Amino acid sequence: MFEQEKAEQENAEPETAGQRQGEGPGDDDDPWAAAMAEQAASEAGDDTPDAAPEPARARAAGESVFRPLEQGGGSAAARDLEMIMDIPVKLAVELGRTRITIKQLLELAQGSVIELDGLAGEPMDILINGYLIAQGEVVVVDDKYGIRITEIVTPSERVQKLNR
C-alpha cells in the first residue's frame, strides 16, 4: 500500500508551496498525504551538501553534553572515591557448602541435618556481593550474631577458595 501511495505521488502534479505547508483545501481530509509530503521533503533535504557529516555531528553533540574534566590528579581520584562511598553492597557470611542430589533435597524434612564442608571452629567466609574478601569468627553482640574479621583474603587465596 505504501508503494502504491508513493507511485501516486510521483505521478501526481507537483504541489505548490502553500499546499506543502498545510494551506491546501484538502489537507484536513488526508493527513497521510501531508505526512508523506513531509517525509519526501525531509528526505530531499538530507542530500544537501551543507549537511554536517555524521562524525562531526556526533562530536558536536558530545561536546555539548559532556563537559571536559578538570586537570588535577589527586582531586579527581578523591572525587571518584567519594562518588562510590554511598553505593550499597551485600555482605554475607558463609557457614559452609555441600552438594546434594535432587533425591536428597526432596527427602529433607524439619529436623534434618545437612553436613557442610566447613569444620567446627574454622573461620567463616565473608562475601561482598558474592565475592570472598575476608574470613572471620562468629561472635554474639547484644543477643545478635556478628563476625569478627580475622583475615583479609588476598586475590590468590580467593582463587584457591573458588577451586574447592
Residue type, 59: R
Of the candidates 102, 124, 125, 104, which has an alpha carbon nearest to the alpha carbon of residue 114? 104
Q: What is the mean pLDDT of residues 133-155?
A: 91
Least confident span in 27-31, 56-60, 95-99, 124-128: 56-60
List beta partners, residue 124: 136
Of the candidates 34, 6, 8, which has an alpha carbon nearest to the alpha carbon of residue 21? 34
Q: What is the mean pLDDT of residues 72-77?
A: 65
Q: Which domains does the chain have, with CATH numbers?
A: 91-162 (2.30.330.10)
Give pLDDT, residue 103.
Answer: 95
Contact 146, 139 (CB under 8 A): yes
The x, y and z cell numbers of residue 40, run together, are 519526501
- pLDDT higher than 70, residue 62: no
